[in-house]
Amino acid sequence: MQAFETFSEEQRKVIQASGAIQRVVAAAGSGKTRTVIGFVSNRLRERPGARVLMLSFSRKAVAELRSRLPEQAKVEVSTFHSFCYRHLARLDPRFRSKGPPGILQKARRVRFLCEELARLPEIGGIPYELLIENRGLCEELVPGLPALLDRRLARFKKSNGLVEFEDLIGRMVRGLAHGRPYLDRLRESYDLILVDEFQDTDPRQLEFLRLMRSPEMLVVGDDYQAIYGFRGATVEPFLKFPKHFPDTRTFQLRQNYRSLSPIVRAGLRVIRQSSKQIKKRVVAVRSEGDAPPVFSLALGPNQESELARDLKKTNVTVLVRTNARRRHWVRSGFPSTSVLTIHSAKGLEFPVVILDLLDGWSQCVPMDQRRSRRFRPPDEEVRVLYVGTSRARDLLIVVHGAREQETVEGLYFERTLAGICRPTSPGQLTRRLEPVFRDAA
C-alpha cells in the first residue's frame, strides 16, 4: 500500500473504516480508485488470507482495479456478468451437465433487433439505433414496441441456446433466493465484497448483494454520475442503500484533485438541476491559475469543420451525447480518436474538453417534455451533462448554437452553464489553448 500519509484525511477514514457495511460517496476526481485499493490493501495487511471479491460494472473498470492491486494480493476482481457466468458454469448442475450456454454478443443482438425493426412498417424513418438504445423513447414513439422486441429476442435466444449476461444475473439471484445447495459454497467463499461504481447498479444486482450476506461489504459510487438508466440501472439503490442495509456507515470523498476550481463549479452548477442526489460540498484542490478555464463558443450551422481546421494542431477531446453526433464531428474533420460519447468517456479525464451542446440531446428527452414551457432536464440527462463537464482538467469549452432558439440544447445551456462560461471565438480559442498545451509539455 502507498504510504499512509500520502492519503487525505477523508481517504484515510475510508481506508481505516471498521464495521460490517460501508458506503462511500466519491465525487469525480476524488481519488476513488486509489482509496479503494488502499482500503483493500489495509484489510489484507490486518487480516492476511482474507477472501476478497471486488465487483464492478465494466471491463475497463475491472482492468484498472487489477492493474493497481499489489501483485501479491490474492483478490478476485470481476464484472458482475463475468462473475455469474464463471461460477454458474462451475457450480450449477444444469450448466455442468449440458455445458455453459453461448453468450449473445452485443453486435449480434443489435443486428437481430435491426432485422426485426425492418419488418415493422410502423417504424417509418425512425433511426433504428435510437429505438434500440433508448427504451423510454422507443415506447413513446411506438407504444408496445419494447415489449414486442423483448418477446422476439427471448424466442431467438431460446431457439439458439444463447443467453445474455443479464440473464445469468437473474439465474444467480433466483438460485440464491431459493437456497440452492450448490450456491451455499459460493456464499461462504468471501469475507469481504467490494462493489465499485455502485451508482450503476440495478435491482437484481442489489438483491444479489443482499442474498450473498457477506460478513463485510463496501460499496463505492457517485450518484452525480449515474448515467446507465437505458440499461436498466437506477441510482435508487445507491441513494437508499442504508434503507436496504440499516447498519451502513457513510463516508464522503469531496475533494476534487482533477479539475481547476471553475470547472468544478461549472459541474456543480449543472448538477443542481438534478432532483435526486446526495448533498455534498465538492471542493477543488487545484486553484484557478492565470486564465479562466471555462468558455462558451457559439457556432452556426456546419461550423464544426471550421473549428476542426482551427484546432488541427491541438490535442482537444470532443465529448458528445450520441453516436450520431460523434460521426458528425468526425466527418467535420476531428480525429476519430479525439471524439467520444460522454458514456464512453466516463472514468477518463482530458486536459481540454469541447462539450457539444449543439445537437443530440433532444432525442433523449420525451416529446411532451420538450414542448412544455416548464421544461426541466430529466435527472439522468443532467447527470450525463455533469459527467461530460467533469472530464476536463484544465480547460472546458461548451459549444452551443449561435442563434437563440428554443431547442432542448439551448435550454440546457441557458439553465446550466451559460451563467458561468466566458464567451470566446474560434480565433481567441486557439490562443487560449497554446499555454495549456505548452504547460503540459
Q: What is the pLDDT of residues 365-380, one digit of tens each?
A: 666 665 555 677 889 9
Q: Distance (Å, rounded) from C-alpha 98 to C-alpha 92?
A: 10
Q: Distance (Å, rounded) from C-alpha 169 to C-alpha 172?
A: 5
Mean pLDDT estimate for the chain? 89
DSSP 207-241: HHHHHH--SEEEEEE-GGG---GGGT--SHHHHTH
pLDDT at 374: 67
Q: Distance (Å, rounded) from C-alpha 361 to C-alpha 184?
A: 47
Of 7-16, 167-176, 265-274, 283-292, which gets the smallest average pLDDT? 283-292
- Beta bridge mates, 26: 253
Is residue 436 a contact partner of residue 351, using CB atoms and an 8 Å limit?
A: yes
Q: Distance (Å, rounded) from C-alpha 343 to C-alpha 352?
A: 17
Place of cell 443482499: 210
Residue 339 clears pLDDT 70, i.e. is over it: yes
Q: Over the stretch 183-201, which tens digit does the pLDDT of each residue have?
A: 888 999 999 999 999 999 9
pLDDT at 289: 65
Is residue 276 a contact partner of residue 229, using CB atoms and an 8 Å limit?
A: no
CA 105, 106, 107 angle in degrees (round to 5)?
95
Q: What percent of the chain has pLDDT over 90?
A: 63
pLDDT at 216: 96
Q: Over the stretch 81-127, which tens digit does the pLDDT of each residue have?
A: 999 999 998 888 887 777 778 889 989 999 999 999 999 988 888 88
Residue 136 clears pLDDT 70, i.e. is over it: yes
Of 69-73, 161-165, 380-384, 430-434, which gets the smallest average pLDDT? 430-434
**Residue 70, SS3 per DSSP:** coil
